[in-house]
Amino acid sequence: MIMKTASVTDLRDNLSGVFERLEDEKTLMIMKHSKPAAYLITPEAMDDILTTLEDYEDLRDTVERMNDIEKIDQTNSIDNVRSRIGL
């Protein structure tokens, strides 16, 4: 995906025009002296980013829990635990 750009000068001279472009592009990289200085994104794009981040965190937490369960299963089988408590 190629990021569309706008300059700091564009923002200063034509803020409403940059926001109109943002509606079409959904994201814009703001350039200052030919280097990325900031990003503008629509609220919808931000919601998508946050949802993806939350999904990733949920997946990471699930994998961690599964790994913990796997470690417990390897060291304390149910039969081993039952025998220790006298069942």
Phi-psi region of 70 (alpha: psi -120 to 50; beta: other; left: phi over 0): alpha
Question: What range defines the domain where residue 70 resides?
Answer: 44-85
Both 29 and 57 in one domain: the answer is no
Return the number of other C-beta atoms located less than 10 Å from residue 67's C-beta: 10
Both 35 and 48 in one domain: the answer is no
User: How confident is the model over 56-73, as pLDDT tens digits?
Assistant: 999 998 888 888 776 666
Question: In whole angstroms, what is the distance from residue 40 CA to residue 70 CA?
Answer: 43
User: How confident is the model over 8-24, as pLDDT tens digits?
Assistant: 999 999 999 999 999 99
Both 33 and 60 in one domain: the answer is no
Band (75; pLDDT cuts 50, 70, 90): low
Tell me how many domains the chain contains. 2
What per-residue confidence (pLDDT) applies to 81? Answer: 64
Both 31 and 52 in one domain: the answer is no
Q: What is the gyration radius of the CA atoms in the chain, in angstroms?
A: 25
pTM exceeding the 0.85 threshold for the entire prediction: no
Alpha helices in the chain (DSSP H): 8-13, 15-25, 43-75, 78-85
Both 35 and 61 in one domain: the answer is no
Both 28 and 51 in one domain: the answer is no
